[in-house]
C-alpha cells in the first residue's frame, strides 16, 4: 500500500464514530478458520512467539513466550489445530527480583521467560522454560487448565526441548549452533552432572529454538537457523547422542510479508530509551535478507497419523505470529509443505483431518467493559502489578488504576496491556479523569520502544489533553473542558503505522498529532501493545483514573467477501500492473507496454465455487476453463474447453487490497509469470517473495457489466 493510501485509510478509520462501534454487536475477531474446510495463516493475527505444541489423545495444547508480561506462559487448547481457546497461564507473577517489579531502577523487558517447552508424561503436564538470569524453571499440573506448580530447576539451559524417552530417561536439547544434549534426573529434581554432550558441533547450521522428538525409533531435532535469512533445519539419528545427519525442511517462506520498520539502537542489554532519546530506524526490506522466513517451530501428529508443522513468522509491528503448515514425509524427513513443493507452506490450505467438528472462533475476547469479577485473560500487566493499586470493584463497571510515581511510561507500574491485533484494528476506551491529582497522567498507549500516548494530565488545578510521540519527542497539549473523555488508537499494523485520537462525547473523534511509526525492536522482543496507564510524574502516589470500557474493532477480520465466488473478474499482476490475457492458443500472458492487448480488459473470468476453498475459473468469451497442462517446467496454464481436475485451484487470500494467489491442486505450486521475460504463465512457482513482486501475486477487479 502506498503512503497516500495508507494515510487515507488511517484517517477514514479514525473517523468511524464510537457510537457506531459501541452500539453494534460485538465485532468479528480474527480467526484462521475460513468456515469452508480451509484455514488461512497466521493462526492468530497477534503475537504468539516461540510456539510449542503437543497432542494428548484428541486434544492439542500450545504454549508460547510471554517475556516480562504477567501473568506468563500462555496455554491454549484446540481440537483441530486451527481454532484455539485460552486455557491458562502457567503463573500469575514472578517473585524473583526487583527487575520484575520495575524497582530500584531495574527492569526485565524482553528478559523474563523465553521459549517454553510443553510436554505430557505419565498423567502430568510439564512446561519447561528458562527465566533469564534465574535458570531453568519447571511448571507442573495434572490439568493444563491449572493450577500449575512452579519448581526452580536452576541450571542455565535456554530455548530447550525435553524428551521423555521410552526407557524412562529424560533428555533436554539446547544450545545455539552447537547442539547439546543434557540428561535430567527422572524425578526432575535437577541435571545429571557430567551428562552434557555436544551432539552437533558448531558450523552445522542448526541454530536455536530446538524441538526434540522420537519418531519410529529415530531421534529428531528441529531447529531455527538465521544465517543468512532464516530457515528450519532437521537433524536425525538412531541414537540420542548421534551421529546426526541434517537437512533443510523449510525455507524462504514469508507468506509474502516484508520485514517492517526496525529500531537498530534499542535492544537487549541496553538501557531504556528515555524521553528525548534518538532512535535509529531502518525501513522495510523487500528481499529475503530483509525478512524472517518461517522459523523456530516443530511438528505434531494427528490421531490418524498425519503430521503438521507449526512455526514462528514475523508479521511486522504485530510481532512474531504462529503459522500452521502441512507436513510431507519424504525419505524419512518431515518437510513443511506439499508434495511437489517441499519447504514452502501455503497461505491457505485444507484444515487438519480430525474427528471433531469445530465452529470458527477466536481464542480470546478482546473487548472488555470491566463489569466482571476479574480481568479477561487477554490482558497482561507490564511486569508484576502492585495488587493494592488497581481494582475492578471500587467503581463498579470500571477499571481503576491508582497512580504511582514514574518518570515516564516505560517505568510506570500497573500498566495493563494486550497485544495489538492486525491487519487493522481500532481501539476505543472511555476515561474518567476526575480522580487525578497534580502530576498525574493517565490514558491510552501504543506500548513500544518508541511509545506513543494520549491521555489526560493534571497540571496544578487544570486538566489538559496530552499527546506524546517518543520517536519525534513531540508533546501536544490542549485544554480539556471535562474530565470525561474517549480515547482512540487506530493501527494499520501491516504498514507499521497508527494514529491517536479523542472525543468529548464518544461520537465525534478528532486526531491529535500525526502518523505514528510502529517499529519492531529487540529490547522487549514484542510487537506493539495497547496499554492503559496511570502514573505520577511528580514523584508522588497521586490519585486515580477510571476506565469504563475498552472496545476493539477489527474491520478486516471478516474475510467472507475476499474471494469473489460467483463474480466475474479480471486479474492484474502485482509485479508490473499488467492485465492477464490469452493468446489464440489459450496460453495466458501479461500485457506488454503499448501493446494491443494492454489497451484491452484482459480475460474475464467467472469464479466458480467448487467447495472447500477450491475455485474453477471460466473465461467469459467461451474459450474454456483455466487449466494446468503438463507438470514441472511444462506446467503451462491454458484455457481448455472442458473442466477437469487440473482446473481446480485453491484460492490464496492475501488478506488485503484484493490480492490473491492461485495454488494449483495438480502441481501444488502457484500460477505465476516472470515479468521480465514475457514467457506465458505457468503453475510451477514455489511461492511469492516478501515484496510480492515476483509475478505470482494477482489483484482481482470485479467486472460490473458482463459481456
Report, as an integer, the average pLDDT of 448-458. Answer: 98
Please count the helices (runs of H) and the strands (runs of E) in the chain: 2, 54
- Topology (CATH level 3) of domain 380-553: Jelly Rolls (2.60.120)
Instruction: With beta carbons less than 8 A apart as the criterion, state whether 675 and 578 touch.
Output: yes
Report, as an integer, the average pLDDT of 590-603. Answer: 57
CA distance 362 to 557: 10
CA distance 176 to 296: 12
Q: What share of the chain is helix, strand, coil (3-state, %, to 5)?
A: 5, 45, 50
Instruction: Enumerate the β-bridge partners of residue 580.
Output: 590
Instruction: With beta carbons less than 8 A apart as the criterion, state whether 348 and 38 touch.
Output: yes
CA distance 425 to 668: 33
CATH class of 568-702: mainly beta
Instruction: With beta carbons less than 8 A apart as the criterion, state whether 159 and 207 touch.
Output: no
For the ranges 9-13, 107-111, 492-496, the lowest mean pLDDT is seen at 9-13
Domain residue spans of the chain: 31-254+292-350, 380-553, 568-702
Query: C-alpha grid cell for residue 108?
Result: 526485565
CA distance 630 to 617: 18
Query: C-alpha grid cell for residue 569?
Result: 473478474
CATH of domain 31-254+292-350: 2.115.10.20
CA distance 597 to 267: 52
Place of cell 504511582: 404
| Model pLDDT for residues 319-333, shown as the tens digit of each residue | 999 999 999 999 999
| Model pLDDT for residues 385-401, shown as the tens digit of each residue | 999 999 999 999 999 99
CA distance 500 to 70: 26
CA distance 194 to 214: 23
CA distance 529 to 527: 6
CA distance 315 to 452: 20
CA distance 296 to 291: 15
CA distance 78 to 60: 5
CA distance 354 to 306: 10
Q: Is the pLDDT of residue 704 over 80?
A: no
**DSSP string over 405-421:** E-SSGGG-SS-EEEE--
- More confident call, 164 vs 596: 164
What three-state secondary structure class fits 13? helix
Q: Phi/psi of residue 5, each to 5°?
A: -65, -35
CA distance 505 to 155: 56
Judged on CB neighbours under 10 Å (0-12, 13-18, 19+), 587 is middle
Q: Do domains 31-254+292-350 and 568-702 have the same CATH topology?
A: no
> Among 657, 582, 652, which residue's Cα sits nearest to residue 620?
582
* % of the chain with per-residue pLDDT over 90: 82
pLDDT, averaged across the chain? 92
The pLDDT value recorded for residue 5 is 44
CB burial of 484-504 (b: ≥16 within 10 Å; e: otherwise) equals: bbbbbbbbbbbbbbbbbbbbe
**DSSP string over 532-546:** EEEEETTSS---EEE
Instruction: With beta carbons less than 8 A apart as the criterion, state whether 311 and 294 touch.
Output: yes
| Model pLDDT for residues 665-701, shown as the tens digit of each residue | 999 999 999 888 778 889 999 999 999 999 999 999 9
CA distance 407 to 271: 14
Alpha-carbon separation of residue 260 from 1, 257, 286, 290, 691 (angstroms):
13, 9, 10, 8, 11
Alpha-carbon separation of residue 169 from 121, 152, 189, 663 (angstroms):
12, 20, 13, 45
Q: Phi/psi of residue 107, each to 5°?
A: -145, 165
The pLDDT value recorded for residue 562 is 95
Report, as an integer, the average pLDDT of 531-544. Answer: 96
Which ranges in 96-211 belong to alpha helices (H)?
Answer: none
State if pTM tops 0.85.
yes
Output the CA angle 468-22-415, nearest 5 degrees. 40
* % of the chain with per-residue pLDDT over 70: 93
Amino acid at each position: 500500500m502506498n503512503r497516500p493510501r495508507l494515510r487515507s485509510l488511517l484517517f477514514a478509520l479514525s473517523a468511524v464514530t464510537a457510537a457506531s462501534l459501541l452500539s453494534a454487536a460485538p465485532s468479528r475477531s480474527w480467526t484462521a478458520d475460513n468456515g469452508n474446510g480451509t484455514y488461512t495463516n497466521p493462526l492468530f493475527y497477534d503475537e504468539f512467539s516461540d510456539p510449542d505444541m503437543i497432542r494428548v489423545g484428541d486434544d492439542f495444547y500450545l504454549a508460547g513466550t510471554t517475556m516480562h508480561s504477567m501473568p506468563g506462559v500462555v496455554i491454549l487448547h484446540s481440537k483441530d489445530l486451527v481454532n484455539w481457546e485460552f486455557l491458562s497461564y502457567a503463573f500469575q507473577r514472578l517473585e524473583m527480583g526487583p527487575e520484575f517489579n520495575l524497582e530500584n531502577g531495574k527492569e526485565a523487558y524482553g528478559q523474563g521467560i523465553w521459549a517454553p517447552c510443553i510436554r505430557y508424561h505419565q498423567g502430568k503436564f510439564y512446561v519447561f522454560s528458562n527465566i533469564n538470569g534465574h535458570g531453568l524453571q519447571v511448571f507442573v499440573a495434572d490439568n493444563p487448565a491449572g493450577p500449575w506448580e512452579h519448581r526452580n530447576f536452576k541450571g542455565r539451559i535456554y530455548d530447550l526441548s525435553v524428551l521423555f524417552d521410552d526407557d524412562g530417561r529424560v533428555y533436554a536439547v539446547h544450545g545455539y549452533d552447537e547442539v547439546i544434549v543434557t540428561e535430567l534426573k527422572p524425578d526432575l529434581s535437577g541435571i545429571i552432572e557430567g551428562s552434557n554432550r555436544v551432539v552437533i558441533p558448531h558450523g552445522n547450521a542448526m541454530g536455536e529454538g530446538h524441538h526434540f522428538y522420537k519418531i519410529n525409533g529415530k531421534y529428531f531435532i528441529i531447529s531455527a537457523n538465521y544465517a543468512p535469512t532464516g530457515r528450519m533445519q532437521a537433524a536425525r539419528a538412531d541414537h540420542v547422542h548421534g551421529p546426526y545427519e541434517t537437512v533443510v525442511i523449510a525455507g524462504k517462506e514469508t507468506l509474502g510479508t516484508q520485514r517492517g520498520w526496525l529500531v537498530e539502537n534499542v535492544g537487549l542489554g541496553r538501557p531504556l530509551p528515555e524521553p528525548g532519546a534518538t532512535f535509529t530506524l531502518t525501513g522495510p526490506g523487500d528481499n529475503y535478507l530483509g525478512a524472517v522466513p518461517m522459523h523456530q517451530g516443530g511438528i505434531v501428529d494427528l490421531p490418524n497419523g498425519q503430521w503438521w508443522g507449526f512455526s514462528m513468522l514475523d508479521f511486522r509491528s504485530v510481532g512474531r505470529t504462529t503459522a500452521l503448515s502441512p507436513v510431507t514425509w519424504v525419505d524419512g524427513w518431515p518437510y513443511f509443505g506439499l508434495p511437489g513443493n517441499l519447504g514452502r507452506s501455503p497461505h491457505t490450505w485444507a484444515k487438519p483431518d480430525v474427528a471433531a467438528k469445530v465452529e470458527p472462533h477466536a481464542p480470546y475476547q478482546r473487548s472488555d467493559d470491566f463489569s466482571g469479577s476479574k480481568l479477561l485473560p487477554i490482558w497482561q500487566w507490564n511486569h508484576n502489578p502492585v495488587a493494592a493499586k488497581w481494582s475492578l470493584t471500587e467503581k463498579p463497571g470500571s477499571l481503576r488504576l491508582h497512580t504511582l510515581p514514574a518518570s515516564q511510561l516505560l517505568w510506570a507500574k500497573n500498566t495493563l496491556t494486550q497485544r495489538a491485533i492486525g491487519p487493522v484494528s481500532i481501539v476505543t476506551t472511555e476515561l474518567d479523569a476526575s480522580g487525578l491529582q497534580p502530576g498525574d497522567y493517565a490514558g491510552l498507549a501504543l506500548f513500544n520502544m518508541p511509545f506513543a500516548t494520549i491521555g489526560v494530565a493534571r497540571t496544578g488545578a487544570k486538566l489538559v489533553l496530552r499527546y506524546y510521540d517518543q520517536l519525534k519527542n513531540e508533546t501536544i497539549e490542549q485544554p480539556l473542558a471535562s474530565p470525561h473523555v474517549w480515547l482512540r488508537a487506530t493501527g494499520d499494523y501491516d504498514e507499521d503505522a497508527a494514529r491517536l485520537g479523542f472525543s468529548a462525547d464518544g461520537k465525534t473523534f478528532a486526531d491529535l498529532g500525526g502518523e505514528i511509526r510502529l517499529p519492531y525492536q529487540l529490547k522487549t522482543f514484542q510487537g506493539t501493545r495497547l496499554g492503559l496507564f496511570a502514573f505520577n510524574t511528580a514523584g508522588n502516589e497521586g490519585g486515580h483514573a477510571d476506565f469504563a470500557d475498552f472496545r476493539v474493532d477489527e474491520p478486516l477480520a471478516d474475510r467472507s467477501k475476499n474471494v469473489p465466488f460467483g463474480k466475474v473478474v479480471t486479474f492484474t499482476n502485482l509485479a508490473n500492473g499488467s492485465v492477464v490475457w490469452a493468446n489464440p492458443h489459450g496460453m495466458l500472458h501479461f500485457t506488454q507496454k503499448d501493446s494491443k492487448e494492454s489497451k484491452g480488459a484482459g480475460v474475464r473470468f467467472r469464479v466458480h465455487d467448487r467447495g472447500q476453498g477450491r475455485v474453477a475459473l471460466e473465461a467469459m468469451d467461451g474459450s474454456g476453463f483455466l487449466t494446468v497442462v503438463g507438470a514441472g517446467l511444462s506446467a503451462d496454464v491454458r484455457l481448455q474447453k472442458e473442466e477437469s481436475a487440473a482446473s481446480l485451484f485453491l484460492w490464496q487470500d492475501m488478506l488485503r487490497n484484493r490480492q490473491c494467489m492461485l495454488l494449483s491442486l495438480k502441481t501444488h505450486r502457484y500460477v505465476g509469470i516472470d515479468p521480465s521475460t514475457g514467457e506465458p504463465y505457468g503453475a510451477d512457482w514455489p511461492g511469492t517473495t516478501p515484496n510480492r513482486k515476483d509475478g505470482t501475486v494477482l489483484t482481482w477487479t470485479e467486472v460490473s457489466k458482463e459481456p
